[in-house]
Structure 1
Amino acid sequence: MSTVGVALPYPILSPLFIDGPVNGFTHWLGLDPKLLLGIAIALNPLGILLGSVVLGPMSDRYGRRRIMLGTLTLAIAGYALSALALFGENYPLFALARFATGLCEGNAAIARAIAADLHPQIDKTRSFSMVNAALYIGWLVGPLLGGFLMPFGGWVPFVVAAAMMLPALTLLAWLVPNTGAKVDLSGRGWITFAREQHALRLLDDVEVRRVFWLQLAFTFGLNGFYEFYPLWLVEFARLGPSGISWVTAGLCLLMTLMSALVWPRIGPRFAPLAAASTTAALAAAGFAVLATGARLPGLAVIVLLGLPLAVYGTSMPVYWSQRFDRHGQGAVMGLLSTTFCLANVAVALIGAALILLDTRLVLALSALACGLAAWRLAALRRDGRAAAATV
């Protein structure tokens, strides 16, 4: 339910800025609507980035449920503020609200840490697949609702998004145990703890740093797809909010089916790195097709990409959780989310410039980034097998 709230406004931003009315919101200070769209897209993941850096490690100390409750409450307030800004056609307030909401949405790392806490009672491939399936269901339902609510006003989806998070807040307080909490005898306050124990400290580990860079390359390509395929659909497939919602629903449906029904059964048979390298290569090929601008093949590819992306989305968290458990699951999942958000911010900023030239350039760059990641993942796998053979 929380993810439905996050995903619900997703399909409205591109049509709002590109095909929306000419007013003080879509043409604030006389700036190009595409530039304003890029800034609005970038600020939310920038907030998620900063939140991911500290929320995961904080859950290792204060407990998963406690941090989740606080962040969900603040996210509800952020969506209400976004709705108010849209209703009043106040772009600066909207940008501020999107950034503040993003700070709280960095709690996805905590959900994955809870899944890791369930091991060995539940196999990690299965638990991470279930978490991802729940996320994908949210991305399936949310954009559909957003697309259908758009005709009632751009601010309406944000109000509904806030309302959708209220049941999630209730269930979290009622059902989820406060796992991960530890006694800290140092007497440090939470601000000091966040400053000293943030997820980026894991990069001092050479092995973590190597995997971080290839993961950053893949998530750069992935975010280029996620952030700009709605604009591709507007420009090259000539779809509106409802059409974008249906395509997104197809994509998320395949991701959900793969994560909930298929991969939990067959995934444990495959090494995480082998699955990740193969699916990264498939993603690169799909993004390359979109870069051609071909309408019908592009529509099919966007939906079918749900299969390899779902497998990759489970395989890498399993690898990170198993390989770097010594650093604490909250911190490890926090760094994984931070990597995604760093790439998201970079793509939004670079993409905001590239779409002024041609939207297809972003997708071509995404294909290159995922191809690089696939190559490095294959090399990492070979190195691992070579090291095992010498033992």
Structure 2
Amino acid sequence: MMTAVELRGTAAPKPLVRLVPVYAIVGVSYLGYAMMATLFVPMMLSPTSPYVPEGASMQLRSLLLGVLLMLYPMAQVVGSPVLGALSDRYGRRPVLVASLAVTTIAYGLICIGLATHMLWLLAFALAACGIGEANAAIGTSVVADTTDPDERPKYLGYMWSVVSVSYVLGPVLGGATAARFGYMPPFLAMLAILAATLATVVVFFRETHAPDARAQSQKIAASLGNLLTVFTDKPLRAYYLVNFLVFVASMGFWRVITEYLVDVFDLSVGEVTVDYAALALTAGIGNLVIMPILVGRVDMRRLGMISTTLGALGVLLVLVPAGASVAVAFGALASIALALSFASLSGLLSARVGPERQGAVLGNNTALGFLGEAIGVLGGSMLAGISPELPMVLFALVALLAVIILKTRITPTEAVVDKAVSRHPGDGEA
């Protein structure tokens, strides 16, 4: 059996070629979820929807929609650390193959649920899909296995570029297909794409991480216990809290904005999916164009405060009563600003710890992101059932609370690596 060093050495000559299957997995994962986040909104909120009880109020429809969309990220909160631990124990390839198989089956169940109008089956399938597509978290590990530290950011950037493209293509292609043929065909297409992706991984993906004997002696449940350090790791608690609040505000806004556009402006499936794709595109511009320019030139703490404040302002300006196009324009401002906030605050957290804790700390932050998304979706949908403006006000206030904590609890001199923080939180004073 090849060692981890030998595996990494084998991959070094052509890392981009070796990473194509991983990029495909991540891209397909976000392509499918982007379709869910947009297509399910008009599907559930329509007065004639066969997926909710006849005569259901808008408040009940919004609540059911929130629960439905919450299941996917909540499943990822559980699935991400577990799949990560399994990939450390058994290697990346078998876990990727197994999780892709689960995801493919889950999309088959989604198609059946849509065809039979069984909401409970649709809910079960979304939860299973979230567990399977938590394999997106393994993608960063594969990049780390395959690349040298100095070139790693470039290949991670390629991966997030794929995510941005998926968030643009998913709503546009899925919306156009659903508007013409109904809600099930886009997910049938996803089923075929997943089957092709699974075949690609089986044939072309080679192992990048040899099974670790030390990982084999650990219990998988311990990986979930690592999440408790977001409360017990005192030097990092404020960083985790700020990131979590921004996750709630940004992910909640990006999920509920479609409900707002449908409810207030009565947009069609095709219209709302195009608008959502436009917001995803502007967020991608923030991550791929603006952020690289600012890195090294602007302090990440200051950038986090400014971008989060602008994001809160943009969310509030969406409520200006001037038509759907104006709401989308201000939503684009909020999307760019929140994308910059997202990246800068994650970077601030990463800079606070040494290299030996990067995986655990950023893994916790990823899980907090999924949890924040779930809370934002459910809470936003419940409030939207009362008034479509309420979620926007709430998310703006949450973002401003993050700014206050960032300014008062995290000082500029803290955003450096120091010995006390670099130790494991269970060692010594931390």
Q: TM-score, normalised by structure 2?
A: 0.79
Residue 253 (1) aligns with residue 301 (2): no
Change in 2 beyond 3 A, CA 1:252/1:187:
closer
For residues 66-93 of structure 1, the C-alpha deviation after alignment (integer angstroms, 9 at most, x for no partner) is 4333222211211110110110111111
Is the 8 Å Cα contact of residues 60 and 328 (structure 1) preserved in structure 2? no
The within-5 A match list for 1:132-171 is 132-151=160-179, 152-171=181-200
Q: What letter is aligned with 1:54?
A: V
Q: Aligned residue for 1:307?
A: 336
Q: Aligned residue for 2:371?
A: 342
Residue 17 (1) aligns with residue 44 (2): yes
- 3-state SS of the aligned residue for 1:236? helix
- 3-state SS of the aligned residue for 1:197? helix
For residues 87-136 of structure 1, the C-alpha deviation after alignment (integer angstroms, 9 at most, x for no partner) is 01111111111111111222332223444554523253x44433322111
Q: What letter is aligned with 2:242?
A: L
Is the 8 Å Cα contact of residues 351 and 416 (structure 2) preserved in structure 1? no
Relative contact order, higher structure (CA 8 A, sep 6+): 1
- Work out the CA distance in 1 between the residues paired with 2:101 and 2:296: 36
- Work out the CA distance in 2 between the residues paired with 1:62 and 1:200: 22
Q: Aligned residue for 1:197?
A: 223
- Work out the CA distance in 2 between the residues paired with 1:386 and 1:341: 24
Q: Aligned residue for 2:140?
A: 112
Change in 2 beyond 3 A, CA 1:311/1:187:
closer
The within-5 A match list for 1:181-260 is 181=210, 183-185=212-214, 188=217, 193-198=219-224, 199-203=226-230, 204-260=232-288
For residues 327-355 of structure 1, the C-alpha deviation after alignment (integer angstroms, 9 at most, x for no partner) is 55443332122111211222233223312
The partner residue of 2:98 within 44, 52, 70 is: 70
The partner residue of 1:375 within 383, 404, 410 is: 404
Q: Taking every aligned residue pair, what percent have the same amino acid on both sides?
A: 24
- Work out the CA distance in 1 between the residues paired with 2:214 and 2:41: 49
Which consecutive unaligned segments of at least 5 residues does structure 2 have? Answer: 1-26, 418-430
The partner residue of 2:34 within 3, 7, 17 is: 7
Is the 8 Å Cα contact of residues 132 and 313 (structure 1) preserved in structure 2? no
Is the 8 Å Cα contact of residues 286 and 301 (structure 1) preserved in structure 2? yes
Q: Aligned residue for 1:26?
A: 52
Change in 2 beyond 3 A, CA 1:119/1:263:
farther
- 3-state SS of the aligned residue for 1:193? coil
Q: What letter is aligned with 1:195?
A: A
Is the 8 Å Cα contact of residues 352 and 415 (structure 2) preserved in structure 1? no
The partner residue of 1:332 within 342, 345, 361 is: 361
The within-5 A match list for 1:37-56 is 37-56=65-84
Change in 2 beyond 3 A, CA 1:11/1:334:
same
Change in 2 beyond 3 A, CA 1:29/1:251:
closer
Report the alpha carbon displacement of residue 178 of structure 1 after superposing the two structures with TM: 3.6
Change in 2 beyond 3 A, CA 1:318/1:180:
farther
- Work out the CA distance in 2 between the residues paired with 1:56 and 1:337: 12
The partner residue of 2:298 within 265, 270, 275 is: 270
| Higher gyration radius (CA) | 2
Q: Aligned residue for 1:384?
A: 413
Q: What letter is aligned with 1:237?
A: F
For residues 110-169 of structure 1, the C-alpha deviation after alignment (integer angstroms, 9 at most, x for no partner) is 223444554523253x44433322111100001111111113121222212222334443
Which consecutive unaligned segments of at least 5 residues does structure 1 have? Answer: none
